[in-house]
Structure 1
């Protein structure tokens, strides 16, 4: 476990990198990231010797946060609302990661473990929300969490001819409506 000051620097660097990646893409200068984090470039390189180390760490951190939000939403909202809010959260996660996507699919071996990390963390997180939805009768029971993650990801691919951010959310809402089709009401007689 890093010392408290080192952990603060790591947290600041990851937050700054996330913001700079979203604004300028993953090829943004390390000086810009370090400046936003309020540290020197030597501190950045001490914690993340390679750009791929920083990109992978940002991606893992975002996956962890998204998975944690599923738990929080499940504990604080009705199943249908928790599922809707989490899919919107996941949509924001995917929609802001287009710069990361190119890096992640670059063939760099530094990213080889990330697809597994994604599936191992977000699949179960969404699976729990879907299970809660099935039990409440607001989601059909034949939905594979990884299929749904993939469908939402595909909906988030930007259109080459138009920039209509709200369109993604409308399409995800339509997909969510489809999850309700065929849901079994748990209190209905069989």
Structure 2
């Protein structure tokens, strides 16, 4: 398969990239600092420019996006817009653009996380956008044509990035290999509109 992994320099994205390469897929790794495939998901023109450089793809996996980490009492409107512009609209715009460059029956996988439905201090801004992405995928997956599938991977904290003996949002961290398994399962399934939780 020809697969684009966005956020390929991050903890999750780099692990997905390595796994897919090891399985002999033709994988394109894109991130902000890439010289070959640079992308900024907050910039629609950047997303379009990347897809114009690539061949028709079988799948797109996004593991990029950020939001503000602040206590609710410290959050201002502009803090919310960090996550809305990046992790929310960045992924929404990615779907709108990617669908025009994908093969029939291709797969698009977005990334959210445990904070969509479980509380962690100072994570209100991220919880907001994660929940919004779940609602977006639930609805938009029904209106994509040509058999294009749209799903979400929602992992917990990653062991190694977070202390293994400490809970995050009420759950212990998960192994990165188990998280990557979720993304590869989505690639090989025929599901759409699903939230794949791993925590």
TM-score, normalization by structure 1: 0.40
Structure number with greater Rg is: 1
Q: Which has the higher strand share?
A: 2
TM value normalised by structure 2: 0.38
Q: Which protein has the bigger helix share?
A: 1
